[in-house]
Amino acid sequence: MKTRVGVLYGGKSPEHQVSLSTAMAVMNAIDPHKFDVIPIYITPEGQWIKGEQLTGPIEEIKQLQFTSAATALIPVSLNQVPAADSAAGGNEETIDVIFPLLHGPNGEDGTVQGLLEILNIPYVGNGVLASAVGMDKVMMKNLFAQAGLRQAKYIAVTKYDWQKRGETVYDRIERELGYPCFVKPANAGSSVGISKCKQRGDLKAAFIEAFQYDRKIIIEEAIVGREIEIGVIGNDEPICSVVGEIVPKKEFYDYEAKYEDGQTELIIPADVTKEQYETIKQMAITAFQALDLSGLARVDFFLAEDGAVYINEVNTMPGFTPYSMFPLLWQHSGVPYPELIERLIALALERHQEKQTITYTFKKEKR
């Protein structure tokens, strides 16, 4: 019997379009001899719509943007999607595993993962806590600090604090971090809302921009050096890929550099020493375990001019097209794109099976 995979994509998120590109790539690459694929689209407004089971390749992204209210899906009925032959008298079948290809808030942040946990449906990728912490850059960096990982200095600011004490906040940033520095929404990905600041005027504009996407932002000191990334897959015994380097033509790796201008150069494998690779690998695994990650992650680093390695962040659902860094890292590590998808599904089922051994009731023994 083939495994029935529900591919969940789109989402109520600034990264909706990124998710569509990822979903198209995965659905076209997944082995049809091993998996039946059911597309499940979340519109920008948050409506869930089920598509027909795939029978061939997807030619255009617009084929994934369903609009029919007749196929609207109530999320709590997710594990009762009709089988392909149900109209002809077949029985309803449950989805075996969900592949949530959602980027950013309302998908990558633990919200959808919580729903899937309640429904007891296996799903690819990180759990509720790991997804939430991996999305919130402030909480992530707090845990990095606790794990003893070297990272850039940072300051967290809430919108309330900024509105009440704006000038005091700017003074603190200039005193503790200096320029240049980066301003980022705490809960966003794909470089959405990020600005590089060189003076107070830049800082003020960056705060306005970042607070459009979250009520909490993070300001980080700039580390002069190279941008290095590594892929991690696994559950209790994670393994690492080769490392890659991002060489943006722009001043920093923003949203346009990632997805639109096509000018960013990816170097795989990156030119690092054996010692540097081992340091990056060990720090990546430490971060993976400190955040209780599972399934997959891309871990991003800065390699400073003096050779010091600084962890930047983890991405719990990295870009997943065949041309994205994460799959390319694994391709260069001997794991082709279709096999990578298959491994992640297997890891999801393995983790789910382990959870079924947990006891959720308590019976006090009589003495």
Question: Is 300 assigned a ligand-binding role in the annotation?
Answer: yes
Length of the chain: 367
Q: How confident is the model at residue 367 (pLDDT cuts 50, 70, 90)?
A: low
| 292 closest CA partner among 232, 235, 231, 352 | 235
Report domain extents, the chain.
1-122, 152-219, 223-353
333 catalytic residue (yes or no): no
What is the model's pLDDT at position 89?
41
Average pLDDT of the residues of the chain: 90
| 134-154 mean pLDDT | 97
pLDDT at residue 257 is higher than 90: no
Q: How far apart are CA 152 and CA 222, in angstroms?
A: 7
What is the model's pLDDT at position 188?
76
pLDDT at residue 361 is higher than 90: no
Name residue, tokens 């992530």: 140
15 catalytic residue (yes or no): yes
User: Which one from 131, 294, 324, 333 is the annotated catalytic residue?
Assistant: 324
Question: Is 26 assigned a ligand-binding role in the annotation?
Answer: no
For the sheet with 181-185, list strands across it. Answer: 154-158, 216-221, 181-185, 195-197
User: Which one from 13, 21, 131, 190 is the annotated catalytic residue?
Assistant: 190
Question: Is 220 assigned a ligand-binding role in the annotation?
Answer: yes
Q: Which fold has domain 152-219?
A: Dna Ligase; domain 1 (3.30.1490)
- Give yes or no for a contact between 301 and 283, defined as CB atoms under 8 angstroms apart: yes
pLDDT at residue 88 is higher than 50: no
Q: How confident is the model at residue 251 (pLDDT cuts 50, 70, 90)?
A: low
Question: Is 174 assigned a ligand-binding role in the annotation?
Answer: no
Question: Is 226 assigned a ligand-binding role in the annotation?
Answer: yes
Q: How confident is the model at residue 80 (pLDDT cuts 50, 70, 90)?
A: low
Judged by average pLDDT, the poorest of 44-58, 74-88, 146-160, 179-193 is 74-88
241 catalytic residue (yes or no): no
User: Which one from 15, 108, 229, 245 is the annotated catalytic residue?
Assistant: 15
Q: Phi and psi (nearest 5°) for 105? A: -60, 155
What is the model's pLDDT at position 250?
62
Structure tokens at 93: 């079948």
H helices of the chain, in order, are: 16-29, 111-119, 128-135, 137-146, 159-176, 200-210, 255-259, 274-290, 325-331, 337-355
pLDDT at residue 290 is higher than 50: yes
96-109 pLDDT tens trace = 999 999 988 888 99
Q: Looking at domain 1-122, does it have CATH number 3.30.230.10?
A: no
Could you tell me which CATH number the domain at 223-353 has? 3.30.470.20
